[in-house]
Amino acid sequence: MSTTTLTPKKAFLLQRWQEILNDPELDRYNDDYRIETDAEGRIVVSPRPRNPHNRKAFVIAQILERHLGGYASTESRILTDDGVKAADAVWCHPERWDEIHNQDVFVTAPEICVEVLSPRNTRSEIDYKRALYFNAGAREVWICERNNKIAFFDPEGLLKESVICPEFPSELDLKPPRPSSI
């Protein structure tokens, strides 16, 4: 299990996040809203993404686990220099399980962080979030465009394909698999 030394700012943001999680008043918002924080630890509330957005994140997480094993999930919180942010999908190497399985927030970003674009996202917002994830320790950040195409990035820039998961498709097929028998 790795140990991470937090800067005073990140220690504050993590403590603030724990306070937010322990606030029973905020429980009533969890089903309908995504809760994050800003660089000052203030709560940022936005509507939960719609079903097509959620389907994309779910399919991405499924494909990652199928190809790489390890741990994949959706709506995972990551401690960044600009507060706690929720990535739409993430993947962690199986060796990190002991570090992450009981955590409410990733103190070190997962190896792969994915953002699924929504109509309200701006390019500058996504570029900023990508930088936050890299600064938090991500090895790759993927952007799922609204047309279902995937853009893969490492800290140096755009990649032709993922280095971590080269077999990941460059475009999502969102049709559910057919059952083998009914």
Structure tokens at 152: 């893969």
Reported as a single tens digit per residue, the pLDDT across 85-126 is: 999 999 999 888 777 777 889 999 999 999 999 888 899 999
Tell me, yes or no, if the pTM score tops 0.75: yes
The 3-state DSSP composition of the chain as helix, strand, coil percent (nearest 5) reads 30, 30, 40
Please name each of the domains of the chain with its CATH number.
49-159 (3.90.1570.10)
